[in-house]
């Protein structure tokens, strides 16, 4: 799968902001709350990912050629 600039920016932002926010939640609410928040955000991301993939691929292959053959030629 190809990555987009949007995905790269989101990954970079999450990698830099995530640990800081985890620390803020630990300091204010404790480790249990921080892990619950992390789990919740992970579930939200997992639920959102298939919808984004469908939107980016146009609901299926654009050609009748098998995907493996298309991938070889890209």
- Structure confidence by residue, pLDDT tens digits, 28-68: 999 999 999 999 998 998 888 887 777 777 655 555 555 55
For residue 55, what pLDDT is reported? 73
pTM here?
0.58
Name the one residue in this structure whose structure tokens are 């709350």: 33
More confident residue, 41 or 71: 41
Q: How many domains is the chain built from?
A: 1
Q: Residue 18 sits in which domain range?
A: 5-73
Contact between 34 and 26 under an 8 Å Cβ cutoff? The reply is: yes
Task: Over range 7-28, report the average pLDDT.
Answer: 89
Name the one residue in this structure whose structure tokens are 């939640």: 25
Instruction: Please report, for residues 36, 46, 57, 59, 64, the alpha-carbon distance to residue 54 in angstroms, rounded to integers and kept in the order given.
Output: 28, 14, 5, 5, 17
């Amino acid at each position: 799968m190809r990555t987009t600039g949007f995905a790269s920016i989101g990954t970079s932002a999450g990698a830099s902001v995530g640990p800081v926010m985890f620390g803020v939640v630990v300091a204010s609410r404790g480790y249990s709350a921080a892990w619950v928040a992390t789990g919740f955000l992970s579930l939200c991301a997992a639920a959102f990912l298939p919808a984004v993939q469908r939107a980016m691929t146009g609901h299926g292959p654009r050609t009748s050629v098998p995907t493996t053959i298309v991938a070889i030629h890209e």
